Amino acid sequence: MARVAVAVVGSGECDADTAALASEVGRLIAERGAILITGGSTGVMEAASRGAHTAGGLVVGILAGADPAAANAWVEVAIPTGMGQLRNGLIVSSAGAVIAVAGEWGTLSEIALARKTGKPVVGLHTWRCARPDGESDDLVQADTPQAAVDHVFALLGR
């Protein structure tokens, strides 16, 4: 059976508390034997990459730019796209599920793409969603990195 890939998405800039959450999520994903996919940049992406790498996991970075050297130091497989933020679709489509940690507008686009394509999404201190008619369409929310990873693997049936 092929290894499952889980994307961790979040802002390229974050505070120390958010970085600690993302690092723990990355570590827990790696300990479950899954591949970590991120945008390969800084902030949440770098913290999750560091956590997964230090736990012996495989870290794939799908980069916005065309230079593989732009990947953070923890990325083992850098995929330069030259697509800018459009690469968010590649991140989502490459993963079996998505964990959104905090985040900004790019994170929201990844959440939306995942929801639109039927990929499981779990939020950790991230966006809350509502439909235009006001009806809640909220994401599965977790309070801890462990809960976020447990939810994702449950949604994947693993």
Q: What sign results for the dihedral spanned by CA atoms 23, 56, 41, 111?
A: negative
Give the Cα separation of 21 and 48 in Å (integer): 8
Question: Can you name the residues that pair with 60 across neighbouring β-strands?
Answer: 37, 77
**What global pTM score does this model have?**
0.96
What CATH number should be reported for the domain whose range is 5-155? Answer: 3.40.50.450
Tokens of 59: 């870290």
Lowest mean pLDDT among 94-98, 109-113, 128-132: 128-132
Tokens 């890939």 -> residue: 5
Confidence of residue 129 (pLDDT cuts 50, 70, 90): confident
Give the pLDDT confidence score for residue 137 in this predicted structure.
72
Residue 1 has pLDDT above 70, yes or no: no
Burial label, 76 (beta-carbon count in 10 A; 0-12, 13-18, 19+): middle
Closest CA to 29 of 145, 114, 157: 145
Q: What average pLDDT does this structure show over 75-102?
A: 97
**pLDDT for 27-60, tens place per residue?**
999 999 999 999 999 999 999 999 999 999 999 9
- Please tell me the total number of residues recorded for the chain in this structure: 158
**Residues of 108-132 as b/e, b for ≥16 C-beta within 10 angstroms?**
bbbbebbbeeebbbbbbbbbeeeee
- Cα–Cα distance list, 85 to 57, 82, 130, 142 (Å): 25, 9, 23, 26
